[in-house]
Amino acid sequence: MSKKTITVRSLLEMKSAGEKICVLTSYDASFTRLVEEAGVEVILVGDSLGMVIQGQESTLPVTLDEMIYHTRNVARARDNSLLIADMPFMSYRSPGLAMESAGRLMKEGGAHMVKLEGGATQLEAIRQLASQGIPVCGHLGLLPQSVHKLGGYRVQGREKRDASLIREDARLLQEAGVDMLVLECVPDQLAAQVAKELSIPVIGIGAGPDCDGQVLVLYDMLGINPRPPRFVKNFLQSGRTIQEALHAYVDAVKSGEFPTAEHSFK
């Protein structure tokens, strides 16, 4: 278990010190206890629960009430980790609605930070949240809530123009007040550039080894999901217990051994 309570300031200090930040999803109390005991600093209640728990084809059907329910279950079991909750599809389509949704995730769910997807189009909502003292995590690259517009779960930022747009969006998000940024499924060199250019922690998922930390979906890294993304490594192998797999994940992130080129994109 972590020796100290993890805060937004803690994560900034870890980035400054070059210490990798370990993030993992969780959706219930039992797994949360194991995840935190393994040394994970940040727990994300992701709308990925729609796919790995509910069996949905995407994250889009997940409701705010469902996110609050799972966040509350995780909050009861966490001790020292920072708890982030995803804002589900269409729950932040205006600054006012974003305030209402974030408020419920924090007051009813117990989240410490909320996460939303998108770049320049979300700046007004982010500024509003930040002005009210609500910590925000941004999300760029592959945006699962925009899967239909993107035409599937594809790597983003390979073209020069697209890469420039992601870098610019990252800068704008930081200026608007986000405290952390998730980069999903982008080339490793692009992710390295963004992490270097921003002062806030940049967490990668399928974004190479040079981000300030890594996040995976719990069910993916335990091999429970029968169709995991190619950037995922199954840590529940070679006769490991779940606890051993979680410790192996933390150790691999902290040491920089994960992700390798096999789990990254060019």
Within 10 Å of residue 203's Cβ, how many Cβ atoms?
28
Within 10 Å of residue 87's Cβ, how many Cβ atoms?
27
* Non-local CB neighbours of 215 within 8 Å, separated by 6+ positions: 23, 24, 25, 42, 44, 182, 203, 204, 205
CA distance 213 to 263: 14
Catalytic choice (36, 41, 117, 184): 184
CA distances from 35 to 30, 44, 121, 211 (A): 9, 11, 34, 21
- Tell me if the bond preceding 259 is cis, omega within 30° of 0: yes
| Residue pair 143/87 in contact by the 8 Å Cβ criterion | no
CA distance 262 to 25: 22
Q: At CA 45, angle to CA 40 and CA 49, rounded to 5? A: 120
CA distance 153 to 3: 37
CA distance 97 to 103: 10
Q: At CA 151, angle to CA 150 and CA 156, rounded to 5? A: 45
Establish whether 66 is a catalytic residue. Answer: no
The rounded radius of gyration (Å) of the Cα atoms in the chain is: 17
Catalytic sites, residue numbers: 184
